[in-house]
Amino acid sequence: MSDAYGVNRERPGASPSWTSAAQLADYLHRGGSLTPLATDLRTAPGEKVYAQLPVSVEMFIPGEDGSYIHKGGIPVSPLGAVLRAGMAVRNSHHKRQAARLAREEWREVDRGAAYISNQRLALRLSRMWDVIDYRMLMDVVFDGAGLQLQLNGRESLRLVIPAPDYHFVMAYYLVFGQPVLPPEPYR
């Protein structure tokens, strides 16, 4: 079945979330509107909340320098050979750990609840509230694991949420006023 974009939404191997996201994009493209939810979030006049969901907030953290302390210097003796073997194993472990920490990657910084409204993204986190006004968003990118929020004047954030492809379509529509198809399903 083709949608308003001329795209077959029933793709083999597509997740139910991706299929729902494609259906939402098609519905919005044809002039449909989102249904607001009743939530406990205090809203401004005219503000409507369309999603409330659990979230893990991640930041892109540059890795450490990859260095570690190499230990050695045990005397030559039968006991020294055993100690050197133990230190070699320990040094190998520290080297692998240093290499893992040196990788640049998204790392979780907090958890809580996300509220997606027609005016802002509100994050009720374990340590604080964070409110992102849509005027601050330069782009919203779906990366398979979550939504990357590229912000004006702030570090980018990634929100790991349930059904990220579906909520990408919703958020992109609310932020930029354009219905978009979700990216191709990740396999």
Q: Would you say residue 93 lies in a domain?
A: no
Name the domain count of the chain. Answer: 1
Q: Would you say residue 29 lies in a domain?
A: yes
CATH code of 24's domain: 2.30.29.30
Half-sphere exposure of 145 (CA within 13 A, CB side): 12
Say how many C-beta atoms besides its own lie within 10 A of residue 17's C-beta.
Answer: 16
- Rg of the chain (C-alpha set): 24
Q: Which of 79-88, 96-105, 115-124 has the highest mean pLDDT?
A: 115-124
Read off the pLDDT of residues 122-148 as tens digits, 9 standing for 90 and up: 999 999 999 999 999 999 999 888 999
Q: Using alpha carbons, select from 116, 126, 124 the residue that is nearest to residue 174.
A: 116
Domain of residue 52, residue span: 16-61+106-176
CA angle 147, 26, 50 (to 5 degrees): 50
Nearest-10 Cα torsion for 171, 176, 177, 181:
-60
Q: Would you say residue 185 lies in a domain?
A: no
